[in-house]
């Protein structure tokens, strides 16, 4: 059945033409966005230290072993720099390529689950226009890579369902290995239910249970073997100071997160935001919703997303981007709904949302200047015209299909993100501070940061050696040892008392809204008085 809210031209050539437009809408973000503290700057610093040192086996940040994340993202970024040169946009374009791969993998998955070409295109466009997907399509983070490997693993399970046992087992193992190298064992959480509960949706799993679970075991062992090809040499090379924290973090985050520890319900109010604009535009009768979970297709979706979502709610550490690998499942559900009688897309509320976003975009330059005390950049407000055009278009003519709404939503999100980045650029871009650090290090001036700085200046300053850091209770001792030295602070509570900094920069993440530089002699003078 054709989707009332589906696309108009499901031919492959047309799909590529519109996907090219989708990528073009996001390219300004990939090219113009600065590295966003503190996550992106930290990951870029890990890749920079890998690229700069030539040591690619074990990631480092600030010259210390970095056991928080797996290395695949760093390898891809550093490899891209080897081929093209060291630029932030290289990493962002790589992310966009991965996002494009997700869209194509989802389209193919929909076809293999029984949808026609029009329904498969609709699923792809529902994902492409999803706010949660658009926001992270150019982000320098691990979740896109993880999501792509999850989709690859689901394709492997469909190979097993089709009786392609050898190909399915090998593909499953490769995807598990790459997924763990992308973001660790959480890869298994995303596929365990749909794999183990396969008799609910797969005739092959019901008929050949022993063979099915043997194939799963073979795939798991291959995935573990791929992971160990990196992990064992890395653990041997770096020693217990690397692998012991790695083990502690993997086990500790389940019950008691080291960071991002939040209540079980934390995802529930944020989930509707991830699903914009479809939460506002997709209207389906109750009968369609009731039928969504029936049959092979529905049971496959149920196994795919319900168990991981419940698990993420139970796990203490929570971040909104952890749910990114689940968005394709919800896009498939929406595409199925749009194939049912009485379901339609109504763009009016999306037009109103675009109008509100445009008003917010127009005020951003003045909000940023007032908050961080730098000059207003009124030209940034002109980007709000894009939101106005989208709002009027959705109201009058556009937005009657999944594709057109997805492109409009992507354009709106990209314009809003670009406006925010440009309006707050002096507080987001730490390159001036990093240049200050680089000059001090080049002139052999003693300089240190108070408390850990997450590699904030390594990549942004292209530092050849890391900026040292000291604990807050070591400030006076360090100043006495380096009376001509310089201190940097970037957060509330770390600034020396009783003395003003001699240089400051606006900084978005600091409670004091600044990064500050202090002279050791002045800090000592204030302490003596």
219 plus 364 within the same structural domain: no
| Least reliable range by pLDDT among 117-131, 253-267, 449-463 | 253-267
Q: Are 37 and 456 in contact (CB under 8 A)?
A: yes
In three-state secondary structure terms, 21 is: helix
20: left (phi over 0), alpha (psi -120 to 50) or beta: alpha
CA atoms within 13 A on the CB side of 33: 27
Does 20 map to a domain? no
| Residue pLDDT, tens place only, 43-81 | 999 999 999 999 999 999 998 999 888 999 999 999 999
| Residue pLDDT, tens place only, 454-487 | 889 999 999 999 999 999 999 999 999 999 999 9
456 plus 401 within the same structural domain: no
Does 13 map to a domain? no
| Residue pLDDT, tens place only, 19-48 | 999 999 999 999 988 999 989 999 999 999
pLDDT at position 396 is: 64
More confident residue, 355 or 188: 188
At which of 428, 456, 474 does a domain end?
428
In three-state secondary structure terms, 419 is: helix
**Phi, psi (degrees; rounded to nearest 5) at 504:** -135, 155
278 plus 325 within the same structural domain: yes
* Cα separations in angstroms, 407 against 104, 125, 433: 16, 8, 37
Which residue blocks in 397-519 are alpha helix, DSSP H? Answer: 402-423, 425-428, 431-442, 475-481
Report the DSSP beta bridge partners of residue 344. 283
Which of 460, 455, 461, 459 lies closest to 442 in space, CA to CA? 461
Model confidence at 515: pLDDT above 70: yes
Which of 442, 488, 487, 476 lies closest to 462 in space, CA to CA? 442
Does 30 map to a domain? no
Pair of tokens at residue 490: 């970037």
325 plus 369 within the same structural domain: no
Pair of tokens at residue 352: 């109103």
321 plus 240 within the same structural domain: yes
329 plus 421 within the same structural domain: no
Q: Which long-range contacts (CB under 8 A, 24 or more apart) does 306-312 make?
A: 306/193, 307/192, 307/193, 308/189, 308/190, 308/193, 309/267, 311/189, 312/189, 312/267
Confidence of residue 291 (pLDDT cuts 50, 70, 90): confident
pLDDT at position 12 is: 64
Model confidence at 7: pLDDT above 50: no
Q: How many domains does the chain have?
A: 3
Which residue blocks in 320-382 are alpha helix, DSSP H? Answer: 327-337, 348-372
* Cα separations in angstroms, 229 against 124, 225, 236: 35, 6, 12
At which of 401, 428, 455 does a domain end?
428
pTM: 0.92
At which of 277, 310, 338 does a domain end?
338
275/405 Cα distance (integer angstroms): 13
1/345 Cα distance (integer angstroms): 16
508/35 Cα distance (integer angstroms): 12
Structural domain of 232: 36-338
pLDDT at position 526 is: 78
| Least reliable range by pLDDT among 184-188, 254-258, 294-298, 421-425 | 254-258
CB contact set of 6 (below 8 Å; sequence gap of 6+): 118, 119, 121, 122, 335, 338, 339, 401, 402
378 plus 514 within the same structural domain: no
Q: Are 19 and 103 in contact (CB under 8 A)?
A: yes
Maximal C-alpha separation, the chain: 83
Model confidence at 514: pLDDT above 60: yes
* Cα separations in angstroms, 141 against 35, 237, 486: 11, 26, 32
Mean pLDDT of 519-528: 85
Which residue blocks in 33-164 are alpha helix, DSSP H? Answer: 39-53, 72-84, 88-112, 117-128, 131-136, 143-161
217 plus 352 within the same structural domain: no
Which of 151, 168, 169, 154 lies closest to 220 in space, CA to CA? 169
Does 404 map to a domain? yes
In three-state secondary structure terms, 447 is: strand
416 plus 460 within the same structural domain: no
CB contact set of 78 (below 8 Å; sequence gap of 6+): 47, 48, 50, 51, 56
423 plus 438 within the same structural domain: no
pLDDT at position 9 is: 45
* Cα separations in angstroms, 511 against 268, 371, 388, 504: 27, 12, 34, 14
Pair of tokens at residue 429: 């871009």
Model confidence at 254: pLDDT above 60: no
367/247 Cα distance (integer angstroms): 44
Selection from 146-160, 255-269, 495-509 with the highest mean pLDDT: 146-160
Please state the separation of Cα 181 from the chain's center in Å: 16
Model confidence at 193: pLDDT above 80: yes
**Strands 514-519 and 486-489: what pairing?**
antiparallel
Q: Are 145 and 191 in contact (CB under 8 A)?
A: no
Does 1 map to a domain? no
| Residue pLDDT, tens place only, 304-328 | 999 899 999 998 888 899 999 999 9
500, with CB counted inside 10 A (0-12, 13-18, 19+), is: exposed
Confidence of residue 165 (pLDDT cuts 50, 70, 90): very high
Does 409 map to a domain? yes
In three-state secondary structure terms, 211 is: helix
Does 154 map to a domain? yes
| Residue pLDDT, tens place only, 372-400 | 989 998 998 998 888 888 877 766 665 57
424 plus 435 within the same structural domain: no
89 plus 179 within the same structural domain: yes
Confidence of residue 529 (pLDDT cuts 50, 70, 90): low
Does 2 map to a domain? no
pLDDT at position 6 is: 47
pLDDT at position 148 is: 98
Q: Are 223 and 48 in contact (CB under 8 A)?
A: no
């Amino acid at each position: 059945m054709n989707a009332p809210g589906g696309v108009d031209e499901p031919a492959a050539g047309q799909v590529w033409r519109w996907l090219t437009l989708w990528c073009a809408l996001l390219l300004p973000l990939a090219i113009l966005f600065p590295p966003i503290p503190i996550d992106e700057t930290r990951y870029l610093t890990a890749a920079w230290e890998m690229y700069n040192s030539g040591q690619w086996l074990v990631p480092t940040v600030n010259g210390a072993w970095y056991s928080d994340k797996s290395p695949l993202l760093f390898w891809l970024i550093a490899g891209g720099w080897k081929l093209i040169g060291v630029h932030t946009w290289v990493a962002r374009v790589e992310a966009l390529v991965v996002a494009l791969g997700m869209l194509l993998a989802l389209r193919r998955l929909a076809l293999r689950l029984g949808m026609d070409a029009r329904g498969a295109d609709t699923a792809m466009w529902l994902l492409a226009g999803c706010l949660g997907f658009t926001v992270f399509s150019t982000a320098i983070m691990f979740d896109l890579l993880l999501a792509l490997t999850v989709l690859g693993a689901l394709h492997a399970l469909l190979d097993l369902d089709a009786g392609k046992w050898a190909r399915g087992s090998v593909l499953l193992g490769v995807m598990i290995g790459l997924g763990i190298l992308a973001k660790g064992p959480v890869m298994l959480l995303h596929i365990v239910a749909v794999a183990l509960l396969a008799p609910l949706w797969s005739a092959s799993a019901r008929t050949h249970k022993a063979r099915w679970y043997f194939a799963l075991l073979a795939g798991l062992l291959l995935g573990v073997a791929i992971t160990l090809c990196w992990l064992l040499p890395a653990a041997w090379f770096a020693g217990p100071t690397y692998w012991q924290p790695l083990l502690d973090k993997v086990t500790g985050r389940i019950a008691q997160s080291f960071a991002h520890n939040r209540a079980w319900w934390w995802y529930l109010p944020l989930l509707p935001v991830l699903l914009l604009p479809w939460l506002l535009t997709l209207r389906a009768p109750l009968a369609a919703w009731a039928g969504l979970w029936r049959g092979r297709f529905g049971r496959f979706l149920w196994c795919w997303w319900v168990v991981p979502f419940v698990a993420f709610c139970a796990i203490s550490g929570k971040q909104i981007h952890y749910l990114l690998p689940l968005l394709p499942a919800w896009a498939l559900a929406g595409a199925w709904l749009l194939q049912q009688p009485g379901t339609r897309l109504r763009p009016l509320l999306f037009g109103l949302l675009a109008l509100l976003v445009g008003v917010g975009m127009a005020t951003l330059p003045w909000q940023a200047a007032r908050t961080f005390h730098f000059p207003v950049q009124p030209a940034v407000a002109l980007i709000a015209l894009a939101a106005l055009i989208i709002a009027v278009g959705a109201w009058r003519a556009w937005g009657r299909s999944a594709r057109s709404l997805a492109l409009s939503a992507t354009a709106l999100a990209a314009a809003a993100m670009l406006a925010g980045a440009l309006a707050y650029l002096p507080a987001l871009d730490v390159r001036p501070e990093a240049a200050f650090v680089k000059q001090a290090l080049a002139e052999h001036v003693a300089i240190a940061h108070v408390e850990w700085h997450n590699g904030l200046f390594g990549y942004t300053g292209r530092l050849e050696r890391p900026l040292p850091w000291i604990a807050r209770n070591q400030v006076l001792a360090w100043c006495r040892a380096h009376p001509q030295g310089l201190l940097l602070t970037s957060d509330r509570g770390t600034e020396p008392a009783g003395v003003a900094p001699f240089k400051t920069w606006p900084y978005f993440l600091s409670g004091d809204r600044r990064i500050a530089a202090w002279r050791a002699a002045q800090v000592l003078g204030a302490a003596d008085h």
